[in-house]
Amino acid sequence: MVSTSSHQGESPSSPPSSSRPPPPSSSFSEDWRRRILIPTILAGVAGGGVGLVSKHRKVHGLANISASYAANFAIVTGCYCGAREYVRATRKTGPDDLLNSAIAGFGTGAILGRLQGGRYGAYRYSLIFAVVGSAADFAALKLKPKLRNLSESMFDKNSSSLKLPEWSPIQVLDEEALAAKRAREEKLYAQRTLGKEES
């Protein structure tokens, strides 16, 4: 005879509460925003910019062609970034793996190319998306440290305000430099007022 005793509220087949997976962390939502949403929005803005200088703007109207380019760029980028994140989660690799980019580009290009141009469009678009997506991600990986250094050099670490370059004629002075400047100004003022009194 098998004992069927169980704890209150738990069925015999349910796993103990300690083996349940933890709830998803907030880093997933931050990662999602950074790796899918922001590139999609930026691509939409870039597409709108391309629409502004398109040769078709006179025929279709500036607003229509800009909106069309913005929507197309955003759709393509959103599909690619979503596929890249799906491949990354499926393969359980890091976000810097370029094979994820190639697989996602191939799949996204095949689907969107099939919708746009049939079987041959799927072949062509899948190769183009795989190459362009991998090249863009490779360039982003190489530029990330340089952009981080640039942003660190532009912002003051203590006050998180914009730091002006050393060659700029406008400078934010610390207390010591401010006191020296005041002393120079008072000395100049005293010399000028003394010169006016003598004449």
Summarised one tens digit per residue, pLDDT across range 5-45 is 444 444 444 444 444 444 444 455 567 778 888 899 999 99
Each residue's pLDDT tens digit, 130-151: 999 999 989 988 998 888 887 7
Rounded to the nearest integer, the mean pLDDT of the chain is: 80
pLDDT the model gives residue 34: 81
Rounded CA-CA distance 28/79 in Å is 18
pTM (predicted TM-score): 0.62
What size, in residues, is the chain?
199
